[in-house]
Structure formats: C-alpha cells, structure tokens
C-alpha cells in the first residue's frame, strides 16, 4: 500500500476556520506514515490520519504509507525508531509525530496545522 | 597482540556456558574465553572510559579474526564519526562495511522533532536491527549507548518494556551483543539497564591519582562462569584495547637449567662460572652511577652476540646516549640494533601511569618476542601506592617467567647503606638473582663494590669484589679484605704496598736475627776452642809435671844409690847402674 494520494489542484486557503496551513504555506503537504505490519496501533494511526487529512488538508496532501515489515531498508532514511511514526516531509522542517495519532490536537500542532494563538 | 590464543581448558564442563572470543588482548584471559555467546553484555562506565572502544574492538576483531560479522548501531555518533574515531586504532570500518563484515546504522534521536500522540512502540528499532543482521548474517551486535533513547521518548514505561523485549529478542537470535551504558549515580548505569541484562556486566573506570590516569576494567558479573574479579588495568593505544591480566594464580612456570652469561666473565665466575639461569629475574640495585646500566648493557651485548633477541627498555637514556656511553666501556650497542637483535625502547617514566608502562612492555614483548628483557631502571616505575607497584611488578615478572624470558631490572637506591637492602624488599622477594653494586667511599675516593646478595639455585660467590670499568669492559677485582675492612681503589693499592713493605721489613729482621745468631754461634764456638786449648795445655802441663816428678824421684833414688856406692859396696853399684840405665 504505497500511496494514498489525493492530489487535487490547489485550492484557495482552506475553508475551515480551524485550519491554517503552516504560516501561510499553501503548497502540498507531504506525509509519510511508517507502520510495521497490520498491528492495531498501525491501523488506528492510519485511520486517524486519514480522517485528519480529509478534514484539514483536503486536496493538498500526499500520503505514503510505508510498511517496514516489507521494506525495512526505508527505516533508516527517516530515522524511524518508534512505530507508528508520521513524518511530515513537506513543508520543511521535517516534523515527526509518533503514536497512533489518537490525540487530534497534538497531531494538528505537530503537523503545524494549528498555530497556537492564531484563531480566525 | 593481534592473535591471542586462549587455552581452552580440557576440564571445561560439558554444558559450560559457551563463550565468544572478543579478540581483545588480555580480556579473553580474565574471562576464560570472552563474552557469553549469543547473549547481551553491558559495558558501562563514566564518560571517556573507553566503552565505545571496547565495543568497537569486539566488533572489528569479530569480523576480522573470528569471521563473525557484526552490526553496529550507534545512537550518539554517526557512522562517519565512528569510522574516524576507530581509524586511530587501525580499524578500517569503511573497508569492512564494503566487504559486508560490518553494517553500521546510526540512529538519530532528535527529541525536538518528535511529537508524541497516543500509543507507540519501538518496532522501528527492531526492524532496522533485523534488517542489518539479515543483510550481513551478523553474529555480533553493538548498541552504542542504547540509553540515548531515554532522552528521545517520554514514555519510560514503554521504553523499559521495549528494552526488555529487545534483550529477549537479541538472545532469541543468538546474537552476542555489547550494549554500552553511561554510569549512573549510585548505580552501574544511569537508567538501570543492568536490570535487564543479567548475564554479563563489565565496568570500566578511568581515574586519576596523583595526576596519573589509569584505566581499569572489572567484570562485575558474569553469570554461570568463573572470571577474574579484580580490577584490571587496561590501555587504549594505536593497536586497540588491551587488558593486563593479573598474575596467574598458580606458580607453575617451567624452569630451565640453561644458563645465560652476564657478559662479564668475572661476574659469571661469581655465579658458579656460568651466569644467570635462563628465564629468571635479575635485580641489579645500587646508588646513582654505580654501574647498573653498564651491567645491563653487558648482558644485552653478550646476549645479542649469542644470537638472542634483547628488549631494552630505558627510562633515563635515549638510544643515542646509551650507545655512546656504552662505547666507553667497549660495548657496541649500535651494531646489535642494526642486526635487529636489540630492540631499544626509551620513554619517559612520567609519561603515563605504571599500568600503562607495564602494558606497553607487555605489548612490546608480545610483538618482539625477546629472550632477554632489560628494564633500566625499574625503580622509576615505583610511583604511587607501593602495594600496587608490588602487584604490578609481580604480574610483569610472572609474565616474563611464563615466557621463559631472562629479565634484568636495575634499581636505583638512595640513602644510607642500611637501607640498601630494604628499599626493594617489595620486589626483592620476587627476584631470583640479586646483585648489589655499591659505592665504597674511602680516603677521598669512591669505588664500586659488587656482590651477589642472592641467587636462587646456585652456589654463588659470597665475596665482595671491586667493580672496575674500563675501555676493555667490566672487570671485577678481588678486593683487599684485611682486618675487618674491605679496601678498594688506591686504598687497596696502598694497603697492598704497605703490606709489601711490612713483609720486607719482617724479612730483613729475620735475616738480621739469623746473622746475629750466626755471629753468636761463632763466638761461642771460638770460646769453646779456646777452652779446649786451655784444657789441653793444662793436661800437657800435668803430664810433664808427673814425668818430672818421676824423674826427680828416680834421680833421688840414683843419687841415694850413688852415694851409698861411694860409701861402700861395688856390687850394688853395678846393679844400680842397670836399673838406672
């Protein structure tokens, strides 16, 4: 399950009030989710992530799900230790979020989708 | 030191713990065969104690000497950094990596980049480890400062569970693993890793005493096997890590009846005419300038001439200096060095701690394999705690004896004469032959006296000899032993001259006496002769007197007859006449 990308043409700034794409970043958000087999944590992480993306990054994210059981050599590149790990490759700087992504607020902060103090 | 053979004891129990040789010099000896095979070992200690070096050497030697490829997982240093670090030990990680002997994986932990949301585990670590192990068929694993993960993740409960799982995992796969860990306050490791690894824990220490640093290693725990429990000094140098095993517990070195000449014929003469026993330790002690180095050089010179390899460790003179100085007593060290029989190593005693010196000597011996080792002077090593010095030297001597190396130590003694034989009591009991060279100061001169204080197993001379160095080498002269004193030098010559004069005088006196007696004899004889003459005269006289008396009587008788004849008868006168006629 290499990719789950939904690449729609760039939309104008997100309609949702809640979402601010990283300090005015309006490009594509590139995400990688590292899992190791179909473990409950991995499955939970994937489900949570999909939900968040659809809700907050509609149309402007790319998501790769990498199963390290199948491609262990990829673990080194992104310095994966914890499973599951979500890596935001773009925009830079790289951010990593580990865990099953069950805490929505933390994920949004981690992905820089919610700027603290910015409300509009 | 590269190939260290460990004798596998034939007594080894059938189900004894299997061990994996580390290839680290000395370490395999103190652990009777290395680390537990297929199990994790913790190597802990403070910063800069050599944990990583230990781990790296374990890995590299495994890959190069025991055909056991290894995975290096570093948590603090990148592969490049590590490659550079160990290049100083002569390890080429890059080459080993291309030959698939070693696989490096740097695990970077950047807490700032990481956000935790919900449950996770460290499966990624396992995946990476598994991948690396499978790729090269690794038998060994090094996790260099695994504890760094504690700084990266907040959930310590999860971390502990994962670490426990990791050790289990390593064990299940039979990977001989070294995990390094930082020392903690009041515990062996900061995060208590030793709780999870119950098989083998090694503690490294780096301490500084009297401004001299010493590294020490201790096997804290080694389940299921006997091991040396002492603290062993170790050294990290350009050839890696080496541990100095303490003295062997048993005194079972083989002995030899072969003799090695001391290089001084007169000294050999004092030692049953043959010299030292091969494989024994000789101590030459004396005050400054008493000729200790010259005796050492003589031994070196002679041994090299006999085709033996000699290692000369000097703490006071450089080779050039020693060579020049020894030329003055007719010894050419340069020649022997060129021929490769003499290895001359000079370094400052203050350069490092005692252990380092001894380790260095150890390594030189392993490398050069000499038959004779000279340490000039060993007293320079005697710094710090005397007990330590003693045990260290004992280790060295044991080692030398085990290898059947004839060793000569010189020792500088100071102070009064009385202390001569006490200062080295620490090592003297370990010594087989002890030669004392001392100054004898008399009549404004300092001369050297030499004697053999002890020499095990031979009827050595009990004499004090005078030690004379000249262009022709060393000679030992019999000293004058007179009325309770030993005289040397000009005092000896003086005394000898005086004795000669005395003798002459005595002779003259005797002659004079003889002559006087002769004269007396002659005088007496003269007297005897005179008396005899007198006696003879007297005798003559008395005979004459007697004869005269007789004549007189006869004449008187005649007269009387004649008178009577004149007065009367004729017949009577005829008869008378015949009587008288």
> Would you kindly state where each structural domain of chain A is located, as residue ranges?
27-110
Q: How far apart are CA B1 and CA B24, in angstroms?
A: 8
Asked if B124 and A107 come within 8 Å (Cβ–Cβ), the reply is no
User: What digits encode the pLDDT tens for the residues B15-40?
Assistant: 568 888 988 878 888 888 889 999 99
Asked if A75 and B127 come within 8 Å (Cβ–Cβ), the reply is yes
Mean pLDDT score across all residues of chain B? 82
User: What digits encode the pLDDT tens for the residues B485-530?
Assistant: 666 777 777 778 888 888 989 999 999 999 999 999 999 999 999 9
- Nearest Cα of chain B lies from the Cα of A14 at a distance, in angstroms, of 24
| Whether residue B570 has pLDDT greater than 60 | no
Q: Could you tell me the two tokens for A2?
A: 């290499």
Q: Is B71 helix (H, G, I), strand (E, B) or coil?
A: strand
Which residue in B109, B116, B117 is closest to A81 by CB distance? Answer: B109
Q: Could you tell me the two tokens for B445?
A: 């001169």
Tell me which chain B residues have a C-beta less than 8 angstroms from the C-beta of A34. 124
- Nearest Cα of chain A lies from the Cα of B67 at a distance, in angstroms, of 24
Closest CA to B167 of B59, B319, B36: B36
Architecture of the A27-110 domain: 3-Layer(aba) Sandwich (3.40)
How many CA atoms, within 13 angstroms, populate the side-chain half-sphere of residue A119?
1
Asked if B110 and A41 come within 8 Å (Cβ–Cβ), the reply is no
Domains and their CATH numbers in chain B: 19-243 (3.40.50.300), 261-473 (3.40.50.300)
Asked if A106 and B108 come within 8 Å (Cβ–Cβ), the reply is no
Asked if A83 and B123 come within 8 Å (Cβ–Cβ), the reply is yes
Does the model's pTM come out above 0.95? no
- Name the closest residue on chain B to residue A35, using Cα atoms: B124
- Name the closest residue on chain B to residue A78, using Cα atoms: B108
| Whether residue B83 has pLDDT greater than 60 | yes
Q: Could you tell me the two tokens for B185?
A: 């306050």
Q: Could you tell me the two tokens for B113?
A: 């980049």
Asked if B124 and A34 come within 8 Å (Cβ–Cβ), the reply is yes
Q: How far apart are CA B349 and CA B461, in angstroms?
A: 34
Number of Cβ within 10 Å of residue B64's Cβ equals 17
User: What digits encode the pLDDT tens for the residues B243-264?
Assistant: 876 555 556 667 788 888 888 8
For residue A57, the model assigns a pLDDT of: 80
- Name the closest residue on chain A to residue B104, using Cα atoms: A76
Chain centre to alpha carbon of residue B530: 85
- Relative to beta strand A29-35, strand A60-67 is parallel
Question: Directed axis angle between helix B79-87 and helix B51-65, to 10°?
Answer: 80
Tell me which chain A residues have a C-beta less than 8 angstroms from the C-beta of B107. 79, 81
Q: How far apart are CA B466 and CA B447, in angstroms?
A: 7
User: What digits encode the pLDDT tens for the residues B185-225?
Assistant: 878 888 888 778 778 999 998 888 767 777 888 888 888 87
Tell me which chain B residues have a C-beta less than 8 angstroms from the C-beta of A79. 107-110
Closest CA to B17 of B248, B226, B228, B249: B226
Cα–Cα separations (whole angstroms), residue B368 to B148, B233, B344, B345, B373: 43, 22, 11, 12, 11
Asked if A44 and B130 come within 8 Å (Cβ–Cβ), the reply is no
Asked if B128 and A102 come within 8 Å (Cβ–Cβ), the reply is no
What average pLDDT does this structure show over A14-37?
Answer: 66
Closest CA to B416 of B259, B258, B287, B312: B287
Q: Could you tell me the two tokens for B5?
A: 């053979």
User: What digits encode the pLDDT tens for the residues B371-407?
Assistant: 999 988 877 777 666 777 777 777 788 888 888 889 9
How many helices and strands (H and E) does chain A possess? 2, 5
For residue A120, the model assigns a pLDDT of: 39
Asked if B120 and A110 come within 8 Å (Cβ–Cβ), the reply is no
Q: How far apart are CA B159 and CA A43, in angstroms?
A: 21
Q: Is B213 helix (H, G, I), strand (E, B) or coil?
A: strand
Q: How far apart are CA B3 and CA A56, in angstroms?
A: 64
Contact residues, chain A to chain B, C-beta under 8 Å: 34, 36, 39, 41, 44-45, 68-69, 72-73, 75-76, 79-85, 93-103, 106-107, 109-110
Asked if A85 and B124 come within 8 Å (Cβ–Cβ), the reply is yes
- Relative to beta strand B281-286, strand B433-442 is parallel
Q: How far apart are CA B530 and CA B520, in angstroms?
A: 15
Closest CA to B218 of B226, B227, B209: B227
ipTM: 0.77
Cα–Cα separations (whole angstroms), residue B447 to A90, B298, B300, B479, B506: 90, 19, 24, 11, 31
8-state DSSP, A120: -
């Amino acid at each position: 399950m290499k990719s789950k990308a939904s690449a729609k043409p760039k939309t104008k700034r997100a309609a949702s009030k809640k979402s601010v794409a990283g300090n005015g970043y309006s490009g594509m958000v590139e995400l990688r989710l590292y899992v190791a087999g179909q473990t409950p944590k991995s499955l939970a992480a994937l489900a949570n992530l999909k939900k968040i993306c659809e809700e907050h990054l509609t149309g402007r994210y790319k998501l790769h799900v990498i199963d390290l059981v199948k491609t262990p050599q990829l673990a080194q590149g992104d310095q994966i230790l914890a499973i599951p790990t979500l890596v935001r490759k773009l925009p830079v700087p790289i951010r990593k979020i580990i865990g099953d992504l069950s805490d929505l607020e933390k994920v949004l902060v981690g992905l820089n989708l919610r700027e603290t103090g910015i409300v509009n | 030191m590269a190939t260290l053979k460990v004798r596998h004891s034939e007594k080894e129990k059938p189900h004894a713990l299997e061990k994996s040789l580390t290839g680290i010099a000395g370490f395999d000896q103190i652990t009777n065969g290395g680390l537990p095979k297929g199990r994790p070992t913790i190597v802990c200690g403070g910063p800069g104690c050599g944990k990583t070096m230990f781990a790296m050497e374990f890995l590299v030697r495994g890959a190069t000497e025991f055909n056991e490829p290894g995975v290096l997982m570093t948590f603090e240093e990148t592969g490049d950094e590590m490659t550079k670090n160990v290049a100083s030990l002569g390890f080429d990680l890059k080459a080993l990596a291309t030959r698939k002997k070693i696989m490096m994986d740097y695990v970077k932990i950047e807490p700032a980049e990481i956000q935790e949301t919900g449950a996770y585990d460290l499966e990624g670590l396992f995946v990476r480890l598994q991948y690396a192990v499978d790729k090269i068929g690794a038998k060994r694993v090094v996790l260099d400062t695994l504890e760094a993960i504690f700084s990266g993740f907040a959930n310590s409960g999860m971390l502990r569970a994962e670490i426990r799982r990791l050790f289990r995992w390593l064990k299940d796969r039979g990977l001989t693993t070294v995990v390094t860990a930082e020392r903690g306050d009041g515990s062996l490791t900061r995060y208590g890793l030793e709780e999870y690894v119950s098989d083998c824990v090694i503690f490294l220490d780096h301490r500084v005493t009297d401004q001299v640093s010493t590294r020490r290693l201790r096997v804290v725990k080694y389940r299921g096997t006997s091991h040396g429990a002492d603290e062993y000094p170790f050294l990290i140098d350009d050839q890696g890590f080496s541990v100095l095993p303490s003295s062997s517990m048993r005194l079972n070195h083989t002995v030899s009846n072969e003799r090695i000449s001391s290089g001084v014929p007169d000294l050999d003469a004092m030692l049953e005419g043959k010299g030292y026993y091969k494989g024994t330790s000789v101590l030459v002690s004396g005050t400054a300038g008493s000729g200790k180095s010259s005796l050492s050089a003589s031994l070196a010179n002679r041994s090299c001439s006999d085709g033996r390899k000699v290692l000369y460790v000097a703490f006071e003179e450089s080779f050039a200096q020693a060579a020049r100085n020894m030329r003055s007593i007719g010894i050419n060290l340069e020649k022997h060095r060129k021929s490769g029989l003499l290895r001359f190593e000079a370094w400052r005693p203050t350069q490092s701690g005692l252990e380092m010196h001894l380790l260095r000597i150890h390594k030189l011996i392993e490398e050069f394999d000499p038959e004779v080792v000279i340490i000039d002077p060993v007293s320079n090593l005697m710094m710090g705690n005397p007990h330590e010095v003693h045990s260290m030297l004992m280790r060295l001597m044991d080692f030398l004896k085990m290898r059947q190396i004839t060793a000569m130590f010189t020792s500088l003694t100071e102070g009064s004469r009385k202390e001569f034989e006490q200062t080295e009591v620490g090592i003297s009991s370990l010594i087989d032959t002890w030669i004392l060279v001392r100054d004898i100061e008399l009549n404004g001169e300092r001369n050297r006296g030499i004697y053999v204080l002890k020499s095990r197993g031979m009827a050595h001379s009990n004499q004090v000899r005078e030690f004379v160095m000249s262009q022709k080498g060393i000679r030992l002269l019999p000293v004058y032993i007179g009325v309770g004193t030993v005289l040397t030098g000009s005092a000896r010559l003086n005394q000898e001259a005086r004795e000669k004069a005395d003798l002459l005088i005595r002779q003259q006196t005797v002659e004079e006496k003889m002559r006087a007696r002769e004269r007396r004899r002659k005088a007496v004889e003269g007297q005897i002769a005179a008396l005899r003459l007198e006696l003879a005269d007297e005798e003559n006289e008395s005979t004459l007197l007697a004869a005269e008396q007789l004549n007189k009587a006869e004449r008187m008788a005649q007269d009387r007859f004649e008178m009577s004849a004149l007065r009367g008868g004729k017949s009577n006168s005829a008869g008378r006449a015949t009587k008288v006629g």
